Amino acid sequence: MILAALICAMMVLLFIRIPVAISMLLPCLVYAMLSPDITLGVALQRCMASINSFPLLAVPLFVMTGYLSNAGGLADRLFRLLLSLFGKIPGSLGYVNVISSLLFSWMSGAAIADAAGLGSVLVPAMKKRGYDEGFALGLTGASSLIGPIMPPSIPAIMYAVAAGVSVGSLFLAGVLPALVLTAILCVFVFIDAQRNPLREKHAGPQVSVMTAVVSALPVLLTPVIILGGILGGVFTPTEAAAAAVMWVLFLSCCYQSLSLNAFRGVLVKTASTTGSIMLIVAAAGLFGWVIAREQGPQAVTEAMLALTDNPYVFLLLINVALLITGMLLEPVAGLLITVPVLLPAALEFGIDPLQLGIIMILNLVLGLLTPPVGLVLYVLSSVTGASVQTVIRGTVPFLIPLLVTLLLITFVPAFSLWLPGFLVK
């Protein structure tokens, strides 16, 4: 009854549009005040303990890397490189859209940064070349979800901290699923190009391939620094994030593309985003502790085992539950609330925590493309001037490749587990 009351109270607060962190925090504080053996001091200690984590230091650093890449014009260099490579291929801007998101994901682990940075450039360019506005918006929104899956991924860091798994291993687990999603989106672009063969007959590269390669090559070294440094044992994921910030800042200074006002804006945005995330982490830490104290994970495990003993049925059930959760909560909040509840049940079914992590992340980031939360929908509407309704209509067809990717990583564990098993001994 206590668990039901806590969850109902949180859902009511969310329904009346109270911020997520406050919606989690208030019921827990009431629980602490009414409990005879818990004080508000204990609740505060639990909040602080949840953010007192070395791996979480990577979050503001990767956030800053993404904002610096946008402000410093590094994303534009990647865009020009891809346009020079794909300029004469039918559907060129569609491929540029998807591959740009893949490359940009190596510098920013957030879908919103991708949608804001690349959407403002790619959607107008695609409309100018004759693409349907809905298709351009939908493709941009769908491809932005590559970012939270491909390392460095902010949701992956959150899951790793909550589940107690290696951040580096979870980064590796996301590589193949991100590439699978990229390939499936490229298939959609190919099909669209076959239906509209004359749309880009005048499209061509704006600069020579060699010039574009020379311009973008230093930017492409960013993932080498991040992943190469982690796999080579040079530094931890948190230290890799710091190295990425320094490298991107160095490039921006060398290109003289980052003004002092723009850098100040980067610092303000980084502080604001980090503050929002850490407040959610602190509240979710207390919420998870209360749920664990009331034996919520055990209750969920017993209910699942009573319902089915088939791990595939269990995975289908949690997919449905997480898709609904993603429609109501931001990915970070959704992860921090559901991991303590679902992980013990998944372990009982013999599901690897790394595979579960990728499944949970993709499920919850799908909510970024669905109302009422749908942050990517609102970002695309803001940067392109299209109505939210237009963005929603454009993204609906692209839920198909996203769900296909979700089913593949759900029922084929090798997509998530092969690379960590091969590279991490």
Q: How far apart are CA 131 and CA 295, in angstroms?
A: 53
Among 1-10, 268-277, 336-345, the least confident range: 1-10
> Where along the chain do its domains lie?
52-267+282-423
Closest by CA position to 159, among listed 319, 6, 325, 284: 284
Q: How far apart are CA 417 and CA 352, in angstroms?
A: 8
51 Cβ contact partners less than 8 Å away, ≥ 6 residues apart:
278, 281, 282, 285
Q: Are 377 and 362 in contact (CB under 8 A)?
A: no
Q: Are 205 and 82 in contact (CB under 8 A)?
A: no
Q: How far apart are CA 119 and CA 112, in angstroms?
A: 10
Q: How confident is the model at residue 207 (pLDDT cuts 50, 70, 90)?
A: low
Task: Encode pLDDT of 269-325 as tens digits.
Answer: 889 888 888 888 888 888 888 887 887 777 777 887 788 889 999 999 999 988 888
Q: How confident is the model at residue 382 (pLDDT cuts 50, 70, 90)?
A: confident
Q: How far apart are CA 175 and CA 423, in angstroms?
A: 12
Task: Encode pLDDT of 26-42 as tens digits.
Answer: 988 888 888 887 888 88
Query: Quick check: 227 pLDDT over 80?
Result: no
Task: Encode pLDDT of 43-80 as tens digits.
Answer: 888 888 888 888 888 888 888 888 888 788 887 788 78
Cis bond leading into 397, ω under 30°? no
Burial class (CB in 10 A: 0-12, 13-18, 19+), 127: middle
Closest by CA position to 164, among listed 50, 329, 21: 50
- The CA distances from residue 57 to 139, 154, 243, in Å, are 32, 11, 13
